[in-house]
Every structure is written in C-alpha cells, then in structure tokens.
Amino acid sequence: MKNGVMMQYFEWYLPNTGKFWIQLKDDAEHLAKIGITAVWIPPAYKGAAQDDVGYGCYDLYDLGEFDQKGTVRTKYGTKEELQQAITALHDNNVAVYLDVVMNHKAAADGKEKFRVKEVDEENRDKEISDTYEIEGWTAFNFPGRKGKYSGFTWHWYHFSGTDYDAKRDNTAIYQIQGEGKEWSRNVDGENGNYDYLMFANIDYHHPEVVEEMKKWGVWVANELNLDGFRLDAVKHINTEFIREFISAVRAERGEDFYIVGEYWKDCPEDLDAYLAAEQYAMDLFDVSLHYNFATASEEGENYDLRQLLDGSLVKEHPALAVTLVDNHDSQPGQSLESTVADWFKPAAYALILLMKDGYPCIFYGDYYGMKGEESPHHTTIDILLTIRHTYAHGAQDDYFDHPNCVGIVRRGATDKPHTGLALLISNAADAEKQMHVGTQHAGQQWMEALGTCPDTVTIDAEGNGIFRVPAGKIAVWIPKE
C-alpha cells in the first residue's frame, strides 16, 4: 500500500439494474491507469430485498447465486459477475476489499417465541419493562441455499436483541432474556451501551455464533480471492470477537490481508482506545478529519485552517489512518449526513492525496457522481492523483501558520530533481506564502498544476519560493519540466 489510494466504489443511490459488477469489471483498467490501487466494494451478499444496498443483510453465503428474497442477483449483479470483476481488477493490480456487515441480520425466514425486556432507547442499560414473551423474526434457515457452503441455521438464542414484536405489532428495543444473555460490554458507550443498532442483533457471546462467523470470514475471503475487508459498524460489535475474527482470517489468507474498521465517532480518544483494544491490528477511517473538513466547509472564512488536522487520526496514528472526505453514510440524505461542501472538496482531496501520511480513500460519489448526476470534482481528482504518483514524494513540511491560508511542502525524492510540490489552501482572500522546497530545486521554474495561477515561480538559491493561491481555492505548485 505504499503510496496507495483506495476508492470506495459505490454510493447509496446506485440504480437497481444488476449491472454494477459488470461496470466495475469494465472500469478496472481505467482505475489502475488513474492510480487507484484498491477498491472497497459494497456488501455483496443477499439483503432483505433486491434493491437493498447490502446493510440489511440476510444471507452472507449468498453472493447472488440462489433464489432468495425474490431474486437471484443482488442489487449489483450475480456472484459470477462479481468474480469476473475481481479477476479483472487483479489483472490490473488493483486490490479488492469487501464491505463486511456482521452486526445484525434482517428479513428472517420465520418467527419464534422468546422472552425479552424492553430497554430505553437512549439508555440500553435501563430496563423499562418486566420480562414477557414476544414473537420475533429470528429464524433463518435459508431455504433457497439448502445448506450449501454452511448448514448453520439461526435462532432467537443466537441474538441478543431485536426491534419488532409480531405478536403485538409493536416496535421497541427488546433485549432477549435467557442464560448468558446480556449486551456486550466491549462496545461503544453511547446510549448507555451501543451493542444494539438494528434488526436482529447478533450475540457474540454465543460460541456457535463466534465459530460460524469466523468460518464465514475465511470462506468469503477464499471464495472471492479478496485482499481485505472493510468492517462495518465495529463500535457496535464485541471487541474480542473482532480480534478473533481478524486472527482467523489472517491465519488463512496471510498477515498482509488488509483490515479497516468503521468506528463512526468524532472522538479521538475513543478511536485511540479502540485501536489499543484491537492491539493495533487494523486501520480505522479518520472520522475526525472528515468532520474537520465538513466544519471548515460550513464556516468558510470564519474557520481557522490551522485547526484542520487537530484531533485527526492521521495526526495521532498516521500509519493506521484511512483518510476520507465523504462516504455513503455522510452523503446527502443519509443517516450520518455531514457532507463536505463542494467549494471545499478540492482542498480536502488535495490534502489527503498529497500529504505524506494516511491511506487516502476517494468516494465514488465525489468521482463519478450521485443519483445519476455527474460529479464536478472528477477532473480535479484525476489531476491530484497524477500529482500524487508523480510529484508527491519526499519529506513533508507543514505551513499551518495562518487562519485563512495553510499549506504543505513535499520536498521530492533525492534521486528525482523534478519531484516535489507546494500545496496552498485558502478559505478567504487571495494569499501568498514563502515556502522552502529544498536547495536541490534552486533555479527551477515551478508551475501551478490546476490552472488557478498562470504565472511561474522561480525557486531561489536557498530553495525558497513565493507561492500564490486565489481566494477560496487551492493551488498546487510543481516543478516545470
């Protein structure tokens, strides 16, 4: 992953045509050409319905192969088409990370009776009823698959909570009662205890569940010849299980099998604690950096750009941070909507793609577009990717020294005199800044790569240049060949 770039290759509102895996296959060569080294693909297994994005997951072993929930294919296509897409990506040296959803199951095949207590939605440790019996959708026997790949069937005792009582046609958070039944303590502390998120909540205290899910992780990694996983909603899942799961998969696929977790919380201390609990065996998405970008884009010239990296994972754990601008949850209309405004997105992408630290992740919606509308950032991202791979080398110096204009310098590789760059970001007026790019560049002419400044800059004998940036924009200066 040295100098690698990940792309989240989906957005929430993709059309339900079943042609997405075919599109991905056809796009493999282009992705490699622009400098994408890995793609994070959406949940590829059967959901509650054909148009399910993948997070209402029903059968993890059905990758678009069996007639279940009224469809053989998933929203994205068939298993065979997915395998062909992965082969095409590998042929172009692009790694594939599957989105793995292990917190819950949805769209059960049958109802079962069991005993529960209702808990307070805002404090799941607070019981608000006595124990009583409900009828919940917790029986999963996957009749369309008929036991292929796994004969495991799910029942109420494999779950710790659910949200619907069919007997009374009532919705609430029900904590399932029985021997050993409790919320996991090794989860996020929001809402008292954030083990329960949605649907039928998988109980990772149950030994049968632990073994089955580890078995599935190994199976899907082998079946699709994957290079890594993106683990969904890890703050809701028992930390000890995640550690066991990672170990089991890497024992089969090798220690280089990549893992990144989604712990969506703007709290650097909690992210730090989670990394420690997982023994630093995985990366995390830099949620704090995303929120810094969103706030900067909302506040405009009132935002102090010197704070842009404050509290970010890339600042505290640079080797474990996946830096991002937006994703399918933060995009407009979604549950965690916190979209970075269009005017600031070039700055955010320039920073994550050109700075030395972090593993940058480009969002499909920012590159290709959302809801069928083209993205205005496509060309800018293409240019930034080219600059990253051609010029963004060597040591980095930060110039976070003004509330409305900040920058970074990459000094370039010592054996390549025409590498290196100077990035400037403005959120207010036109600005200029003297920056030191290194004496090896003395006498060189530098040009602005995005076309925002027509003039050139001559690097003086001491390796300094005076670089400019237009109001509210970015400028990326590079050596002129």
Q: What is the pLDDT of residues 204-233, one digit of tens each?
A: 999 999 999 999 999 999 999 999 999 999
Strand 95-100 to 170-176 pairing: unpaired
Residue identified by tokens 């970010």 is: 312
Residue 426 is assigned to a structural domain of this protein: yes
pLDDT of 1 higher than 80? no
DSSP 274-306: HHHHTTT-SEEE-HHHHHHHHHHHHHGGGS-GG
Same domain, 180 and 112: yes
Domain boundary among 202, 237, 270: 202
Cβ neighbours around 302 below 10 Å, total: 11
* Structure tokens, 44: 């590829």
Residue identified by tokens 């509290």 is: 311
Question: Closest by alpha carbon to 198, among 163, 235, 234, 236?
Answer: 163
401 flagged as catalytic: no
Question: How buried is residue 415: exposed, middle or buried, by Cβ count under 10 Å (0-12/13-18/19+)?
Answer: exposed
Give pLDDT, residue 92.
Answer: 98
Contact between residue 422 and residue 368 where contact means Cβ atoms under 8 Å apart: no
Same domain, 18 and 151: no
Look up the CATH number of the domain holding residue 91. Answer: 3.20.20.80
Contact between residue 349 and residue 362 where contact means Cβ atoms under 8 Å apart: yes
Same domain, 177 and 323: no
Among residues 203, 262, 286, 448, which one is catalytic? 262
Q: How far apart are CA 397 and CA 400, in angstroms?
A: 10
Look up the CATH number of the domain holding residue 400. Answer: 2.60.40.1180
Cβ neighbours around 378 below 10 Å, total: 12
Number of structural domains, the chain? Answer: 3
As a whole number, mean pLDDT of residues 288-306 equals: 98
Same domain, 464 and 322: no
Give pLDDT, residue 481.
Answer: 79
Q: How far apart are CA 44 and CA 60, in angstroms?
A: 8
* Structure tokens, 74: 């998933």
Domain boundary among 202, 223, 239: 202
Residue 288 is assigned to a structural domain of this protein: yes
Q: Which residues contact 252 (CB under 8 A, 6 or more apart)?
A: 218, 221, 222
Same domain, 363 and 414: no
Helix (H, G, I), strand (E, B) or coil at 336: coil
Q: Which residues contact 229 (CB under 8 A, 6 or more apart)?
A: 97, 98, 99, 100, 217, 221, 249, 257, 258, 259, 260
Question: How buried is residue 438: exposed, middle or buried, by Cβ count under 10 Å (0-12/13-18/19+)?
Answer: buried
Contact between residue 16 and residue 76 where contact means Cβ atoms under 8 Å apart: no
Q: How far apart are CA 371 and CA 453, in angstroms?
A: 33
Same domain, 216 and 323: yes
Q: How far apart are CA 257 and CA 29, in angstroms?
A: 23
Q: DSSP assignment, residue 157?
A: G
Type of residue found at 303: Y
165 flagged as catalytic: no
Residue 469 is assigned to a structural domain of this protein: yes
- Main-chain phi, psi angles of 277, to 5 degrees: -65, -35
- Main-chain phi, psi angles of 228, to 5 degrees: 180, 175
* Structure tokens, 265: 């919380």
Residue 17 is assigned to a structural domain of this protein: yes
Same domain, 416 and 334: no
Same domain, 266 and 368: yes
Confidence of residue 76 (pLDDT cuts 50, 70, 90): very high
Q: What is the pTM of this model?
A: 0.97
Per residue in 397-409, pLDDT (tens digit) is 999 999 999 999 9
Give pLDDT, residue 335.
Answer: 85
Give pLDDT, residue 417.
Answer: 82
Question: Closest by alpha carbon to 195, among 234, 156, 243, 139?
Answer: 234
Q: How far apart are CA 256 and CA 221, in angstroms?
A: 13
Look up the CATH number of the domain holding residue 109. Answer: 2.40.30.140
pLDDT of 39 higher than 70? yes
Per residue in 107-142, pLDDT (tens digit) is 999 999 999 999 999 999 999 999 999 999 999 999
Residue 466 is assigned to a structural domain of this protein: yes
Q: How far apart are CA 406 and CA 391, in angstroms?
A: 19
Same domain, 309 and 214: yes
Same domain, 98 and 115: no
Give pLDDT, residue 2.
Answer: 60
Domain encompassing residue 152: 105-202
Same domain, 138 and 272: no
Tell whether the torsion through CA atoms of 389, 229, 47 and 118 is positive or negative: negative
Type of residue found at 42: P
Q: At what angle do helices 268-277 and 287-299 cross, to 10 degrees?
A: 170
Residue 1 is assigned to a structural domain of this protein: no
Domain boundary among 177, 202, 227: 202
Same domain, 156 and 231: no
Per residue in 347-397, pLDDT (tens digit) is 999 999 999 999 999 999 999 999 999 999 999 999 999 999 999 999 999
As a whole number, mean pLDDT of residues 39-53 equals: 97
Q: What is the mean pLDDT of the chain?
A: 97
What are the start-end ranges of the E strands in 325-389? Answer: 361-363, 369-370, 373-374
Residue 467 is assigned to a structural domain of this protein: yes
Residue identified by tokens 């950032």 is: 377
Among residues 232, 278, 283, 326, which one is catalytic? 232
